[in-house]
């Protein structure tokens, strides 16, 4: 089954979100699945169930109310975001199956670097298991299923500034600590994290015939 990997670079959030919605609304049973890989300009996004009280002090960072699940989170440079635009009916995936696949892919990648992490049944995402940062969230996820197809996806803190998380209750949890990869594995790089995590996701999804695309041409 073919898969397009679309490398978007750094982009503002709104146009990419709108493009995801348009892609999902107009795709049909023959449309090739895609993973979109991006870093966003600094932004808070608030999910459909998001509560205003979790936005403590957004200040000059814009807030966008979006159509994914979950509460409020932050995106910005140095954070790896991968959106999974998949026909989940065609690949016969339920939502929980896809959530588990994303979490397990992140856990596998971290384990390859000697970092122990886990998922939690009550709070989607990936959390550190050991050391001084045990319990800290290093990756968040939120999905939307429409017309049998998924969009939105995961955000993984690689080398980003963590201070914006102090302006919110991350994912709706007051005082939740957050972590980033560069503090755990100083030799890691953004490109290495991107390439390795993509390879794991592709393998676990089972797609073959991978095509890499740059930018949003032909979306």
CB count, 10 Å around CB of 188?
Answer: 18
Q: Judge whether 154 is annotated as a binding position.
A: yes
What fold is seen in the domain 3-214? BirA Bifunctional Protein; domain 2 (3.30.930)
Q: Judge whether 94 is annotated as a binding position.
A: no
Question: What does the pLDDT look like over 110-150, one tens digit per residue?
Answer: 999 999 999 998 888 999 998 778 899 999 999 999 999 99
Question: What does the pLDDT look like over 44-62, one tens digit per residue?
Answer: 998 877 777 878 888 999 9
Residues with a catalytic annotation lie at 171
* Domain boundaries defined on the chain: 3-214
Q: Judge whether 99 is annotated as a binding position.
A: no
More confident residue, 22 or 167: 22
Q: What's the predicted TM-score (pTM) here?
A: 0.94
- Taking the C-alpha atoms of residue 188 and residue 210, their distance in angstroms, rounded to an integer, is 25
Question: What does the pLDDT look like over 65-75, one tens digit per residue?
Answer: 988 877 888 99
Give backbone dihedrals phi and psi of 29, rounded to 5 degrees, phi first.
Answer: -65, -15
- Taking the C-alpha atoms of residue 150 and residue 137, their distance in angstroms, rounded to an integer, is 23
Q: Judge whether 219 is annotated as a binding position.
A: no
């Amino acid at each position: 089954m073919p898969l397009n990997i679309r490398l978007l670079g750094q982009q503002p959030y709104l146009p990419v979100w709108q493009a995801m919605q348009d892609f999902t609304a107009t795709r049909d049973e023959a449309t090739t699945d895609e993973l979109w890989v991006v870093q966003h300009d600094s932004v808070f996004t608030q999910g459909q169930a998001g509560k205003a009280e979790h936005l403590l002090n957004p200040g000059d960072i814009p807030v966008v109310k979006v159509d994914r699940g979950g509460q409020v989170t932050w995106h910005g440079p140095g954070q790896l975001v991968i959106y999974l635009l998949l026909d989940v009916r065609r690949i016969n995936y339920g939502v929980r199956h896809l959530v588990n696949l994303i979490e397990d892919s992140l856990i596998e990648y971290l384990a390859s670097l000697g970092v122990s992490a886990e998922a939690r049944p009550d709070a989607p995402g990936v959390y550190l298991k050991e050391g001084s940062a045990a319990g800290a969230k290093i990756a968040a996820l939120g999905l939307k299923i429409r017309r049998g197809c998924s969009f939105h996806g995961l955000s993984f803190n690689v080398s980003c500034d963590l201070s914006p998380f102090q302006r919110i209750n991350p994912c709706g949890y007051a005082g939740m600590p957050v972590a980033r990869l560069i503090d755990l594995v100083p030799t890691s790089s953004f490109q290495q994290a991107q390439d390795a995590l993509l390879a794991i996701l592709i393998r676990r999804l089972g797609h073959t015939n991978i095509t890499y695309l740059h930018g949003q041409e032909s979306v």
